[in-house]
């Protein structure tokens, strides 16, 4: 798998994902607002680690289930009468999705799962479930997936993905990207949606920052943040279709671009905002890409991206600190995009109503479909 020789502003960082984040790294992000519960996995030993905050009180038991809808009492008990706030569990196989139920002595059970799917060839393929909304509800696990390019998925990955029941895939990439790294979906029958290329290529305006003799990493970051407003507008037709499908109950749904951080990141931010997830959590979810994927390392080792015929080969000649902002999932980028929407439309929801054409009825249908 290689980076496309023609790289747009939103696919410049389209590179291979590295392994799963360590529990330490994931914990830092979760403490920043993603969730209070951490789930990590050592794929070699098949051992899950689950930890939770003391605010849950005394935990009676931990159950594991293969279905997100499994109710407390119907899962397999893997630990009981816990005095600690963490537990490990060795799975027999990783061929199925595991959902965990943390059942306290008092109060409601909490459902959780591994956010980044345990795939051999996936890039940033993760679940948007588990996030709390401002009105106290929770985004359902196993209904919304965000991802990067999928052409590296292995047979074993497809065996795992077959159990997720994904009905719709929205591919946000350009025609050229799809041709160079095609998705050959083999995990059941899906409706695979693609969209016309944006009328304008915004990548060159972003690249002009490097023509500045006094360019700095800070200027590159600001240019990248500024490009996000254009990305949001360019992808409106795709986002509109995504919201339409969700309103119609066509779930689980997955959406992807190449890196799985820019076009996909904005789409995820819009969906989570529409569901009522607080801004802090929306931004923290966006920033997870930086934990799960080492874009800079993979870019440095990708021969196709550095080929002299590539229009962006000059990036390889730049100091790494100048290229690094393009590879980041800096909270500044998504915050700028959302603030731009608020300044122009009054709110992100107003942007969804006016540009993405999400009606109040559709919004309620989506929330009913995706929230506990």
Q: How far apart are the first and last CA of the chain?
A: 38
Q: Is 216 helix (H, G, I), strand (E, B) or coil?
A: coil
- What integer pLDDT is reported at residue 55 of this predicted model? 87
Q: Are strands 86-90 and 38-42 parallel, antiparallel or unpaired?
A: unpaired
- Residue 371 DSSP label: B
Q: Give the contacts of 208 (CB within 8 A, at least 6 positions apart).
A: none
Each residue of 308-330: b (16+ CB within 10 Å) or e? Answer: eebebeebbeeeeebbbbbbbbb
Q: Along the 372 residues of the chain, how does pLDDT read in single tens digits?
A: 333 322 233 333 332 223 334 434 444 444 344 567 999 999 999 999 999 998 888 999 999 999 999 999 999 999 998 988 999 999 999 999 999 999 999 999 999 999 999 999 999 999 999 999 999 999 999 999 999 999 999 999 999 999 999 999 999 999 999 998 999 999 999 999 999 998 876 665 677 888 888 999 999 999 999 999 899 999 999 999 999 999 999 999 999 999 999 999 999 999 999 999 999 999 999 999 989 988 887 677 565 555 666 555 677 778 889 988 989 999 999 999 999 999 999 999 999 999 999 999 999 999 999 999
| The pLDDT of residue 352 | 98
Nearest Cα to Cα of residue 125 among 113, 139, 115:
115
- The Cα 50–Cα 153 span in angstroms is 27
CATH number of 1-19+116-372: 3.90.190.10
Q: How many Å separate Cα 83 from the centre of its chain?
A: 33
- Contact of 89 with 62, CB cutoff 8 Å: yes
Question: Residue 129 CB: number of other CB atoms within 10 A?
Answer: 22
Residue 316 has a pLDDT of 75
The separation between CA 165 and the C-alpha centre of its own chain, rounded to angstroms, equals: 18
In the chain, what are the domain boundaries? 1-19+116-372, 21-115
CATH architecture of 21-115: Sandwich (2.60)
What is the pLDDT at residue 318?
A: 82
Query: Nearest CA to 101 among 79, 122, 85?
Result: 79
Listed residue (90, 139, 153, 119) closest to 20, CA to CA: 119
Please report the pLDDT score of residue 32 as a whole number.
40
Is the whole-model pTM more than 0.95?
no
């Amino acid at each position: 798998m290689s980076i496309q020789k023609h790289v747009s502003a939103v696919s410049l960082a389209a590179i291979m994902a590295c392994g799963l984040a360590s529990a330490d790294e994931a914990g830092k992000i979760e403490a920043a607002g993603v969730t209070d519960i951490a789930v990590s996995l050592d794929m070699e030993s098949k051992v899950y680690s689950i930890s939770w905050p003391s605010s849950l009180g005394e935990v009676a038991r931990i159950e594991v289930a293969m279905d997100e809808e499994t109710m407390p009492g119907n899962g397999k008990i893997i630990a009981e009468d816990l005095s600690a706030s963490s537990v490990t569990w060795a799975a027999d196989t990783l061929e199925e999705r595991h959902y965990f139920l943390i059942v306290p002595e008092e109060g409601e059970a909490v459902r959780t799962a591994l956010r980044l799917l345990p795939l051999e060839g996936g890039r940033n393929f993760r679940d948007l479930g588990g996030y709390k909304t401002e009105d106290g509800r929770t985004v359902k696990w196993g209904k919304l997936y965000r991802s990067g390019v999928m052409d590296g998925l292995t047979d074993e990955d497809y065996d795992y993905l077959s159990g997720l029941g994904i009905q719709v895939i929205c591919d946000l990439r350009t025609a050229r990207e799809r041709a160079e790294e095609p998705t050959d979906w083999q995990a059941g029958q899906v409706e695979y949606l693609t969209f016309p290329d944006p009328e304008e290529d915004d990548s060159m305006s972003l690249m002009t920052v490097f023509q500045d003799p006094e360019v700095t990493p800070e200027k590159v970051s600001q240019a990248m943040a500024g490009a996000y407003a254009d990305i949001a507008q360019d992808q409106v037709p795709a986002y509109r279709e995504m919201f339409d499908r969700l309103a119609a109950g066509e779930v689980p749904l997955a959406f992807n671009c190449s890196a799985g951080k820019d076009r996909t990141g904005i789409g995820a931010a819009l969906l989570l905002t529409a569901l009522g997830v607080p801004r802090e959590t929306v931004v923290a979810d966006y920033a997870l890409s930086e934990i799960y994927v080492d874009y800079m390392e993979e870019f440095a080792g990708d021969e196709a991206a550095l080929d002299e015929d590539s229009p962006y080969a000059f990036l390889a000649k730049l100091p790494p600190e100048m290229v690094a902002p393009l590879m980041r999932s800096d909270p500044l980028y998504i915050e700028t995009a959302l603030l731009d929407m608020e300044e122009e439309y009054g709110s992100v929801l107003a942007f969804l109503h006016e540009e993405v054409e999400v009606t109040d009825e559709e919004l309620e249908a989506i929330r009913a479909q995706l929230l506990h």
